A and B are shown apart, each in its own frame.
Chain A
Amino acid sequence: MNVYIIGIGLSAPRRISPDVSFREMIYEAAEKAYLDAGIEPKDVDTFVSLSEDYEEGTAIFDEYVPDQLGAVLKSVHTICADGITGLASLFAQIKTGYFRIGVIEAHSKLSNIKNHFHVSAMALDPIYVRPLEINPYFVAGLEMRMFLDSRGYDELDTAQVVAKNKANALLFGRSPFGSFVSPEEVLLSDPVSEPLRNLDIAPNADGACVIVVANEEVAKERKGDLIKIAGIGFAEFTPNIERWEGDADYLKVAAKKAYSIAGIKNPLKEIDFAEVDDTFSYKELQHLEALGLASFGASAHLIREGFYDLDGELPINTTGGNIGNGNLSLMNGLRALYDAILQLRGNAGNVQLEDPETALIASWKGLPSSSGGVLILKREG
């Protein structure tokens, strides 16, 4: 049984959202997604919500999502993971044959948090790491150094990611952090935890996204192109930061599963474009190598050549990635999925690619986790 995406809705990313609550943002995204799918909430069989209690400031947060999704007295559960891992839960549920239509929701209201890194620090091991009182950005700085040194890269290589993604965001028009900035200017931004600099970090943002998924029978009742979930995978590496190896092994495992389901043998040739997590600039290069979209130590050379540009052979983060759209926490993966569907439908405006058919979306849960998911989408005309 095949599974399709039939509706998407977004409450667009923004720096702050004092005018709306997280519930209102989810409601906006849900209303748009249901309209796009041509369904009503009563048609939905199962709902997945993505959240982490500490970021919400509320425990057992799944109690706070049914109202605005139209999910009261229906199957609702939380997945504490990135957007693609959450989608895998929905994918499995539809594949059992017991559900016809499913909905996944993710949101970010990070502007409510005074010091986000204080919350992130609570995710460090409470016995061995937390007593060191390190800022989680220090962990990212250490990993970035390990990544650069192991491949012979320098900061100017990762600055290419920032320049590319911010330019894409500006062209796309919706993304709040778009700008034309040169790689050299990126290196002039304030150091946070060397070699990590201020512009290497995706700024926090607010927003909400809702995606409607359905089985083949429901999907084929609809007119127009179908977007099929051709492959999906997710994985965990280890929460022990001292065991990290700087290679994003979680995406290697996740990609292997996703490629296997999708029947992809050579991702470099078979993928038309990709949305790849770039919460930190070095993460994009690290993830590209883990996904097999560059060989070990080759991603820096490829990005400098323009291989990943909008007019390159494999465009990456066409709408600006997380650096251009903001860090939406667990919503990052669904925002990337939303934008990939815009591309596949031909609705990506200034950054529209020429007739793309196959997309890859890779998400990372964020600092200081080592988990993520990989999704392959195919357009069926």
Chain B
Amino acid sequence: MAQKVAVLGAGLTKFMRRAKETGKELAFEAAKMALEEAKMDISEIECVVMATAPDMFDGVHMKGDWLSDGAGAKRKPYMRSYVGGGSGVFGIIHGWYLVASGLFDTCLVVAEEKMSSSMPHPQGTFNAIYDQFLERPLGVNLLWIFSLEMMRYIHVHKIPLETISLVSQYLLFLLKTKKMHLTILVHRRELQAIIPLKMFSILRLLLILSTD
């Protein structure tokens, strides 16, 4: 049966639109902070889990292998687990599997994403998530499915668009009152004049910008 598992430390790099650090360096910084908070040395780590989304963001095939030494995994059991955009949370779950199973006593879980490497914008790389034959030739990106899903959600549940926009307004309120350190910057003028993106029902202020 599963052995109990606890979180001993955590580290987080500053979010930014365009990090000068490589993905390896970002992974190293976060791992170092987590180890310091846990008062542990890398030699005490028995295995490392890496959670990171599509290779195309960083432009590196086998991205998990490339990030491994930044995450402190040299000569250690190392596994990249992946569930697309949910990889960050799933990385913790996977670390839990490895420790709860009794296979290891300690596990360092590292999640890395550097979206700014995609030029000019990571939405372009999202085209590669679609079916090669039926969808990709349409030139679609991630906004396309979110827009369709949002339209369906609004239609089925009869929710006015203004109600959806309250989420964005609330985030702005948290930012202004400093209750939340958001790295997305929302201009008051934009809030007053919500601009529909071309061809999409989804609105600019309902999006969260990509960060590193």
Contacts and interface: CB of A to CB of B under 8 A. Distances in A.
A253 B77 contact: yes
A85 B61 contact: no
Given A80-B80, A126-B59, A236 B65 contact: yes
Interface of B: 1-2, 22, 48, 53-56, 58-66, 68-69, 73-85, 90, 94, 96-98, 100-103, 125-126, 128-129, 132
**Mostly helix, strand, loop or mixed at chain A's interface?**
mixed
B92 to A, nearest CB: 13
B64 A96 contact: no
A59 B125 contact: yes
Contacts of A79: 79-82
Contacts of B100: 92, 96
22 contacts: A54-B56, A54-B62, A57-B128, A58-B128, A58-B132, A60-B54, A62-B84, A63-B84, A79-B81, A85-B79, A89-B79, A92-B101, A93-B101, A119-B61, A122-B59, A236-B77, A236-B78, A238-B68, A239-B66, A249-B75, A368-B62, A369-B62
A80 B63 CA distance: 9
Given A52-B61, A58-B129, A79-B82, A239 B68 contact: yes
Given A92-B98, A126-B59, A239-B69, A78 B82 contact: yes
A352 B61 CA distance: 39
Closest CB pairs A-B (n = 10): A95-B101, A236-B78, A122-B61, A59-B54, A54-B61, A92-B101, A60-B84, A78-B82, A123-B61, A123-B62
A74 to B, nearest CB: 12
**Mostly helix, strand, loop or mixed at chain B's interface?**
mixed
B64 A80 contact: yes
B101 A52 contact: no
Contacts, number: 146
Given A53-B56, A58-B129, A60-B53, A125 B66 contact: yes
A235 interface: yes
Contact of A127 (B1, B22, B55): B22
Contacts of A76: 83
Given A78-B82, A92-B100, A235-B75, 15 more contacts: A53-B55, A54-B56, A59-B129, A60-B85, A62-B83, A78-B83, A79-B81, A89-B94, A92-B101, A93-B97, A93-B101, A235-B76, A236-B68, A236-B78, A239-B66
Interface string A221-262: 000000000000111111110000000011001100100000
Contacts of A57: 128, 132
- B53, B54, B61, B129 — which one has the most chain A CB atoms within 10 A of its CB? B61
Interface residues of A, number: 53
A343 to B, nearest CB: 26
Nearest to A97: B1
B76 A98 contact: no
Interface in A73-125: 76-81, 85, 88-89, 91-98, 119-120, 122-123, 125
A335 interface: no
Contacts of B132: 57-58
Given A52-B55, A239-B69, A63 B90 contact: no
